[in-house]
A = this chain, B = another copy of it.
């Protein structure tokens, strides 16, 4: 029994996992400046999907900057690598049958386009979480704007660094115009209209 060459077992496919879960898998990519409400919407939406028995995972700065991407800073090159790795990781989750809610400033159009290019067209939904800088700075939930204005935080998007507004997002939600619940419902309606929440899709 020294050199057995056995046929490799059939690989479980993405479709197999979707069948097991009873729903499709894809990436919801939330982009917007700090304080616009990306993580709040991602976690709030995940709650709703979980209640419906869907298999989801939120990727956001809290989870990625402290682990996988802890070696990266905020230069343009590092931001690019940050988004590339997140895109590749999100792709693995999609292949595993999971609905990924990715909430990242992701300021550059080119980097968002790269993340989109890694998966199939219908597997990537870009959601622009729109909110005026003035309002985000007033909110300043994490105190980042104050620190950035004081020069304690450098390379801060929308102050020192550019934020490139999405040219053709799949969806726009305006968090200074609507409540979180309204924005989440808006996204849910979009997903339903596009048959992304269909059981067995």
| Contacts from A to B (Cβ < 8 Å) | 1-6, 8-12, 16-17, 20-21, 39-40, 43-44, 46-47, 50, 53, 55-59, 63, 67-68, 85, 88-89, 91-93, 95-98, 118, 135, 138-139, 141, 175-180
Known: A20-B50, A67-B91. A57 touches B96 (CB 8 A): yes
Contact A68 B89 (CB under 8 A): yes
A55 to B200 Cα, complex, angstroms: 16
Q: Which of B2, B5, B12, B44 lies in contact with A56, CB distance below 8 A?
A: B12
- Measured between beta carbons, the chain B residues less than 8 angstroms from A56 are 12
- Measured between beta carbons, the chain B residues less than 8 angstroms from A21 are 55
Q: Which of B9, B10, B53, B89 lies in contact with A20, CB distance below 8 A?
A: B53
A16 to B85 Cα, complex, angstroms: 26
Contact A2 B57 (CB under 8 A): no
A58 to B89 Cα, complex, angstroms: 13
A85 to B21 Cα, complex, angstroms: 27
Contact B135 A3 (CB under 8 A): yes
Contact A11 B43 (CB under 8 A): yes
Contact A40 B8 (CB under 8 A): yes
Sampled A-B contacts (15; CB under 8 Å): A3-B135, A6-B179, A6-B180, A9-B44, A9-B47, A10-B47, A11-B43, A12-B43, A12-B47, A12-B50, A12-B56, A16-B50, A93-B93, A96-B98, A98-B98
- Measured between beta carbons, the chain B residues less than 8 angstroms from A135 are 2-3
A93 to B91 Cα, complex, angstroms: 12
A43 to B135 Cα, complex, angstroms: 50
Q: Which of B1, B85, B176, B180 lies in contact with A68, CB distance below 8 A?
A: B85
A100 nearest in chain B by CB position: B96
Other than the given A1-B178, A4-B175, A16-B50, 15 more pairs (CB < 8 A) read A1-B179, A3-B138, A6-B40, A8-B40, A8-B43, A8-B44, A9-B40, A9-B43, A11-B58, A12-B47, A12-B50, A20-B53, A21-B55, A67-B91, A92-B93
